Structure 1
Amino acid sequence: MMLEFKDQSGRKVTLEFEYTNDMDHILAICMMEGKYLFTDHKVRGIEFPGGKIESGESAEEAVHREVFEETGASIGNMQFIGVYTVHDEVRPFVKGVYLAEVADMFFKCEYMETYGPVLYKAVEDIPEERRSFLLDDPCIDYLYQKSRNEGQFK
């Protein structure tokens, strides 16, 4: 099954539910004590943690690393959700999306390109002026709404 969306730039975005090794980025929808764990990106604002998969790293390893770097959280249970592909003419990018449960949270002096962790019960609770444009992406919103409705992906 494949779903199709358009991002804010009008590019085609697809969401597929089959695992692939072609992923070059990850996105983690993290839950902690009944709330969503976000990161406060220094440029974009509050968004779900994620980033590039480094050379020699699996997508799952990237989830653990990126979530820890951006929030100080360690991941417990994690579930692959799907593959989010932005069909850009210059360079398409492929993002593996995971639902993750936070096992523990650590204070860090440095959170890389973010100001660190932020917890909210819902995306709608994030003040509009603090919300990353990525949270308005129709595909990311679909994944978020699905996580709210089901609590997990099946």
Structure 2
Amino acid sequence: MHQFTDENGKNVELSFNQGYFNQESHHVLVLCRYSGKWVLTRHKKRGLEFPGGKREKGETIEEAAIRETFEETGGVIKDPLFIGEYKVYGHTPFVKTIFFATMIELIAKDDYMETEGAVLWSSDFSRIQDDPSFSFIMKDQVVELALRRVAHLDLMT
């Protein structure tokens, strides 16, 4: 388990064990690849980040990952792979599930909800800390450690 403080000063715990927090996850973060590149989305307020969001009533957490990815990027994924979960301690603590997925198709859409659609990223993420075009979500240890886990599991090939 990893502990740190995020960009907003909130305590965060990250685990690569499913169900570690004994609190149901209602949020997803999806680390996606398409044609050898990372798939980000440009949130209209926060900036560049991986797709994600909240689970809707009656949805499984995997279904939420599939839907959120499509809504925000036009990307079609199947069978998202569990990578980890993290808990953010604030006024109302919440748990977010991290998935990895390879997109099988990227479809142009007229509406990407609160985002501006897919952004294909071929660089690493080592120089984004001071880049204001990236969301705060990308700048804490969750993404860094989850990307290391994806590489360790050799999922990018």
What TM-score does the superposition give when structure 2 sets the normalisation length? 0.87
Residues 40-87 of structure 1, C-alpha deviation per residue, up to 9 Å, x if partnerless? 100111100000011111000000100000000000342101111101
Residue 72 of structure 1: aligned partner: 74
Q: Map of 1:125-136 to 2, 5 A cutoff?
A: 128-136=131-139
Q: Which range is displaced more, 70-79 or 139-148?
A: 139-148
1:1-154 alignment to 2 at 5 Å?
A: 2-20=1-19, 22-88=24-90, 90-121=91-122, 122-124=124-126, 128-148=131-151, 150-152=153-155
**Letter paired with 2:102:** E
The unaligned stretches of length 5 or more in structure 2 are none
Indicate the SS of the match to 1:63: helix
Give unmatched runs, 5+ long, in structure 1. Answer: none
For residues 39 and 127 of structure 2, the distance between their equivalents in structure 1, rounded to whole angstroms, comes to 13
Deviates more, 1:118-127 or 1:104-113: 118-127
Bigger fraction of residues in strand? 1
- Distance, in Å, in 1 between the alignment partners of 2:125 and 2:40 is 9
| Partners of 2:62 and 2:79 within 8 A in 1 | no
SS in 2 for 1:129: coil
Measured against aligned partners, the alpha-carbon deviations of 1:100-147 in whole angstroms (never above 9, x if no partner) come to 110111110000000000001133477923111111112222212333
> Contact 1:77 / 1:101 at 8 angstroms: preserved in 2?
no
Question: Which of 68-77 and 18-27 deviates more?
Answer: 18-27
Which deviates more from structure 2 when the two are superposed, residues 70-79 or residues 50-59?
A: 70-79
- Which residue type is aligned with residue 146 of structure 1? R
Structure 1 segments of 4 or more deviating over 3 A? Answer: 124-127, 148-151
Please provide the CA RMSD for this pair.
2.0
Q: Distance in 2 between matches of 1:8 and 1:129?
A: 13
Q: For the Cα contact (< 8 Å) 2:10–2:89, is it kept in 1?
A: yes
Give, as a single letter, the amino acid of the residue that structure 2 aligns with 1:18. Answer: N
Give the paired residue count.
151
What TM-score does the superposition give when structure 1 sets the normalisation length? 0.89
In 2, the alpha carbon distance for the partners of 1:13 and 1:125 equals 22
